Chain A
Amino acid sequence: MLGRTLREVSTALKQGHITPTELCQKCLSLIKKTKFLNAYITVSEEVALKQAEESEKRYKKGHSLGDLDGIPVAVKDNFSTSGIETTCASNMLKGYVPPYNATVVQKLLDKGAVLMGKTNLDEFAMGALGSDTGGSTRNPAAHCGVVGFKPSYGLVSRHGLIPLVNSMDVPGILTRCVDDAAIVLGMLAGHDPKDSTTIQDPVKPFTLPTLADVNKLCIGIPKEYLVPELSSEVRSFWSKAANLFESEGAKVIEVSLPHTSYSIICYHVLCTSEVASNMARFDGLEYGHRCDINVSTEAMYAATRREGFNDVVRGRILSGNFFLLKENYEKYFIKAQKVRRLIANDFVNVFNSGVDVLLTPTTLSEAVPYLEFIKEDNRTRSAQDDIFTQAVNMAGLPAVSVPVALSNQGLPIGLQFIGRAFCDQQLLTVASWFEKQVQFPVIQLQELMDDFSSDFEIEKLSSVSLKQ
């Protein structure tokens, strides 16, 4: 049951094949068994069981709240959850219990979803896991063989999402299939009076139409995304995908996004500047960590922040403040904003030329082993990880990573579709068609658990076999 799609589980709940409580308990036991993966920072067992119980009552009375009622969900630990500790995996916020729910969390709960807990991330989501600022929904999705969807900027509320880069952050949706992502988007999207950057127009829940054929589609292949670092396996799946579209009748053309190569460095300037600004509030006065030093307010600030932030966060705060200094502002921040505009215009030009959707890799290769992963410093790592994903955040466009196949090593590989701003439904429709063609195998964590003991070594992950 845990390997099924949202729609399948929802049907099973409606038909009474399984109760929300049973489902919740299954989830909780899987979380316990996979504890060594360190996926959760907080498991909200009691709350989850209570919510499941409520859901069960509703089903018994025939008052289900819809497709999400009784469905287990997890939320990254940078979304504020009322009464549940929200840490951003930072010492700075250890013990911080928000008094309110993020809008997206509230919307999920209003629809009857059962919150299992808060998932891990690197501090303040500055790396590969988390909400989507530079690719942090799509990259992990590609590596894990699931769908990772980043909606258009402004479509989904950021209220309650602890910010990394306000102008790029978007709540991301991770699901087993594109259709599920569409269902969740339908529940979450729309204007939020608490977030002034959300669109004013009302968004209605929708179901994805089934695309009969792709004859009228034009797929763009950005030539700048063919970089030397791209693994041959990913490259070959990318071209296979392009061929698939072409053979099914779509028009597939090479396009150019000429400013792509400047994107990472520009992202770095803008990201660190906003980080420096956003982190200014963590001074130990109102909430979160506070040091023991109290000789002066300044000394308390300094010690609190030194103790509360790790090296990566402090490094970004320092560089961000450097870029914002009066003497540097023009040279770095303004220039980066101009480049950002050029990058966004690249996409506009391509879409104006008749392209419906862009097809690109999501990552350079499949997931690398942990020992390999920690060799590089954070900056290099994020530059590599976000190479194909962050330009989308700079431009505010919707993008989705869809799993395509397993590598020779048996690890998942994903491809990315990028759509026009606020054409999220069109994008998901195309992605859904593609998903049906490739028939990616469902990952069976349950079986994985049966095969391995709990003192499982991380290194062995690279050889995990997945059920076809």
Chain B
Amino acid sequence: MAAPVLRWSCVGKRWVLACIDGGSRHGRGAAIGFTSRRKRGQSSVAQQPLITAQKSRKGEHEWAAVVGLEIHAQISSNSKLFSGSQVHFAAPPNSLVSFFDASLPGTLPVLNRRCVEAAVMTGLALNCRINKKSLFDRKHYFYADLPAGYQITQQRLPIAVNGSLAYSVCVGKKPSQVSTKTVRIKQIQLEQDSGKSLHDEPRSQTLIDLNRAGVGLLEVVLEPDMSCGEEAASAVRELQLILQALGTSQANMAEGQLRVDANISVHHPGEPLGVRTEVKNLNSARFLAKAIDFEIERQIHELENGRKILNETRSFDYKLGCTMPMRDKEGKQDYRFMPEPNLPPLLLHDTASLPPGADPQQVINIDWIREQLPELPSETREKLIQQYGMLPEHSFALLNEVGLLEFFQNVIKETRAEPKKVTSWVLNIFLGFLKQQNLTVNESPVTPSALAELLNLLDRKAISSSAAKQVFEELWRSKGKTPSQIVSEKKLELMQDQEALERVCHTVMEGHPQVFLSLKVMDVKRGNPRAINKLIGLVRKATLNRADPTVIKKILERKLSS
């Protein structure tokens, strides 16, 4: 992978629900002066974002923040929503543009069946009611990357409504303190993506790439049921996993397949909601959380200083860590919505309403799609907990990385090692190596079978755990070798020969009389553990790490007390 991809969790964290790495990168945000001004004893907004839970200062009201989200997920499909053009990320500019995408006069939209099925599937997975009749509308605005001067969307009657999304957030300091929350889903609508404008400032030109113009989007509208950046980021993360499990969107935020707009307002509990601002185009979960928390702080600061919040559109400057009004969104926009006259109503069926003898190519049956729903992430996690006695946070961690769960399951299939051991190896060592080298699971040089074999060797005590780590490092470096080969090449197998071990112990003790004597003087049982550990270390060194330390300890203790 050429460019580093922004990932959800960062190196060193074994699993992450949605703990955003808070205080590390505040940048020049302090220049704006809000986060530093508040004397609330928190070094970072993100680590303690539940504003409602905070105690108010003397004479001050409490503040509650309300956050709603509009999420645009690019539908994973071969062709665009209304035209036959292919959909590819990073294709040469304007190479995937049909006459319709370029809005040549006289061209007409033809709805892509796959996109409709993706919308229905996503709606079902998010517990929505699927509208058997939905409508398309035109939303008008002039923009260089919107060739028709309008976007076809579903404003009046969207394809799915009234759903819900459950997600988990950490509530305490420990990762195991997890709380499940639910956000209502207002609607899911099908709509067209726009093209891309590339501003060439030195030449004061704008270049237009229409490859993205007309790609199918699912707009998922989350009700304002969230109260901080972390909750919003967790909800988005869960949605991302669901979309990926369904295959309805690749939902890669760095590639723009998942884009989030956040609506934020603050108010005093018990009072009407405040005026909201919209922060647009947030393209990473970390920035989403940061932008929301910044905006909450900013609004509170404005209101506490007697100023008003404007209903405006803002953007997040990730370098400065703050939100700013968007210049080109100034002034009132009237989208002049109008029914799309070139598309008849979108009609869906269920088995009960299916017209007899209907051509399966012409109708979409909601019940068939429901039957094809794959296992959702929450179900997968529950299964992991039930089947392997796994900790909830470990089940989250396994699902957090694309392909990691499959890797884990393949290892489990081929090894006799305990699931706990496998979990620990996959999440600690394997994932750690991946993170360090910025690789995806698919790019790993170590296969599941290799790790399974290694764990088998460890399980039957053929090697020590420190030797196992050595073998793993070797596996990572030299592709194609099996763990057993490495073990024998490097002579890492544990010494099973008791007599030989006794001899080594004896030699070591004789070679280090001072240590031996100091131990002999004291009662070994209460004795100096450092001293005996030193001896164990020396014996292991003498055996080139091939001795099991517990066996050595036993021999040494016997020899000392004899």
Does B bind A? yes
Contact A283 B149 (CB under 8 A): yes
Number of interface residues of B (CB under 8 A): 31
Q: Are B140 and A159 in contact, with the CB atoms below 8 A?
A: no
Interface string of A274-302 (1 = CB under 8 A from B): 10110111110111000000000110010
Closest chain-B Cβ to A172's Cβ sits at a distance in Å of 16
- Interface residues of chain A, those whose CB is within 8 Å of chain B, are 79-80, 88, 93, 96, 98-100, 102, 158-163, 165-167, 193-197, 200, 273-274, 276-277, 279-283, 285-287, 297-298, 301, 321, 324-326, 329, 333
Q: Shortest distance in angstroms between B528's beta carbon and chain A's nearest beta carbon?
A: 80
**Contacting pair B105 A297 (CB below 8 A):** no
Bound-state CA distance A447–B147 (Å) is 50
Q: Across the interface, do A99 and B140 meet the contact criterion of CB distance under 8 Å?
A: no
Once A196-B342, A277-B150, A280-B149 are accepted as A-B contacts, the answer to whether A80 and B105 lie under 8 Å apart by CB is: yes
Q: List 22 A-B contacts (CB under 8 A).
A: A88-B105, A160-B106, A166-B342, A196-B110, A196-B343, A197-B108, A273-B338, A280-B140, A280-B142, A280-B148, A280-B150, A281-B103, A281-B148, A285-B208, A297-B206, A298-B142, A301-B142, A325-B334, A325-B336, A326-B334, A326-B335, A329-B336
Tell me, in angstroms, the Cα distance from A281 to B213 when the chains sit together. Answer: 14
* Complex contacts, B540 vs chain A, CB 8 Å: none
A281: chain B residues at CB < 8 Å are 103, 105, 147-149
Question: For A163, what are the chain B residues with a Cβ–Cβ distance below 8 Å?
Answer: 105-106
Pick from A276, A286, A298: contact of B147, CB below 8 A.
A286
CB distance from A130 to the nearest CB of B (A): 13
Q: Measuring CB to CB, which residues of chain B are less than 8 angstroms from any residue of chain A? A: 99, 102-111, 138, 140, 142, 144, 147-150, 206, 208, 334-338, 341-344, 362
Q: Chain B residues near A298 (CB, 8 Å)?
A: 142
A444 to B138, CA, bound (A): 48
Contact between B103 and A276, CB atoms less than 8 A apart: no
Cβ A277 vs Cβ B342 within 8 A: no
Say whether B103 contacts A286, CB under 8 Å: yes
Give A192's nearest chain B residue, CB to CB.
B108
Partner of B106, one of A98, A280, A283, A285: A98
User: Closest Cβ of chain B: how far from A289's Cβ, in Å?
Assistant: 13
**Once the chains bind, are B138 and A158 in contact (CB under 8 Å)?**
no
Question: Which of these, A99, A100, A196, A276, contacts B336 with CB under 8 Å?
Answer: A276
10 residue pairs, one from A and one from B, having the closest CB atoms = A280-B149, A324-B336, A166-B341, A167-B341, A162-B105, A281-B103, A160-B106, A80-B106, A281-B148, A162-B106
Report A-chain residues with C-beta under 8 Å of the C-beta of B144: 285, 297
A161, B106: Cβ atoms under 8 Å? yes
Contact check, A321 vs B336: say whether CB atoms are below 8 A apart: yes
* Closest B residue by C-beta to A88: B105
Q: Which of B105, B110, B335 contacts A193 (CB 8 A)?
A: B110
Kindly report which residue of chain A lies nearest to residue B82, judged by CB atoms: A196
Q: How far is the CA of A169 from the CA of B344 in the complex (A)?
A: 15
B107 / chain A contacts, CB cutoff of 8 Å: 159-160
Given contact pairs A158-B342, A196-B344, A324-B337, enumerate 19 new A-B contacts (beta carbons under 8 Å).
A102-B106, A158-B108, A160-B106, A162-B106, A194-B110, A195-B108, A196-B110, A196-B342, A196-B343, A197-B341, A277-B150, A281-B105, A281-B148, A283-B147, A285-B208, A286-B102, A287-B102, A324-B140, A325-B334
Chain A proximity of B343: nearest CB distance (Å): 6
Question: CA–CA, A26 to B149, complex, Å?
Answer: 45
Q: A326 — which chain B residues lie within 8 A by C-beta?
A: 334-337
Q: Which residue of A lies closest to B145 (CB)?
A: A285
Q: Give the docked Cα–Cα distance between A166 and B108 (Å).
A: 10
Judge whether A159 and B106 touch: CB under 8 Å.
Answer: yes
Chain B residues lying within 8 Å of A283, measured Cβ to Cβ, are 142, 147, 149
- Measured between beta carbons, the chain A residues less than 8 angstroms from B148 are 280-281
- Cα–Cα distance between A381 and B36 once the two chains are bound (Å): 70
Contact A99–B110 (Cβ < 8 Å): no
Complex-state Cα separation, A325 to B337, whole angstroms: 8
Query: Can you name the residue of chain A whose Cβ is closest to the Cβ of B205?
Result: A294
B338 touches A277 (CB 8 A): yes
Q: Is the CB of B99 within 8 A of A99?
A: yes
Residues of B within 8 A of A159 (CB): 106-108
Q: How far is the CA of A281 from the CA of B342 in the complex (A)?
A: 15
In angstroms, Cα B393 to Cα A250, docked, is 84
A328 CA to B136 CA in the complex, in Å?
20
CA distance A274 to B144 in the complex (A): 21
Write the nearest CB–CB distance from B522 to chain A, whole angstroms.
Answer: 86
Chain B neighbourhood of A280, CB < 8 A: 140, 142, 148-150
Given contacts A280-B140, A325-B336, contact A93 B105 (CB under 8 A): yes
**Could you say which residues of chain A place their CB within 8 Å of the CB of B104?**
80, 98-100, 286-287
Select the residue from A99, A283, A298 with max chain B CB neighbours within 10 A.
A283
* Shortest Cβ distance from residue B141 to the other chain A in the assembled complex, whole angstroms: 9
Q: Taking the nearest CB of chain B, how far is it from the CB of A185, in angstroms?
A: 20
Chain B residues in 8 Å Cβ range of A200: 362
In whole angstroms, how far apart are the Cα atoms of A273 and B206 in the complex? 30
Cα-based distance from A194 to B106 in the complex (angstroms):
11
Say whether A324 contacts B338, CB under 8 Å. yes
Return A452 CB to nearest CB of chain B, in Å: 37
Specify which of B106, B144, B150 lies most central, judged by the most chain A CB atoms within 10 Å of its CB: B106
- How long is the Cα–Cα vector from A159 to B342 in the complex, in angstroms? 10
With beta carbons under 8 angstroms apart, the residue of B108, B109, B140, B208 that contacts A277 is: B140
Distance between Cα atoms of A159 and B104 in the complex (Å): 11
Q: List, in ascending order, chain A residues with CB within 8 A of B108's CB.
A: 158-159, 194-197
Collect the chain A residues with CB atoms within 8 Å of residue B362's CB: 200
> How far is B336's CA from A163's CA once the two chains are assembled, in angstroms?
19
- Name the B residues within 8 Å of A285 (CB-CB): 144, 147, 208
- CA of A85 to CA of B298 in the docked complex: distance in angstroms? 57
Separation in Å of the A374 CB from the closest CB of chain B? 28
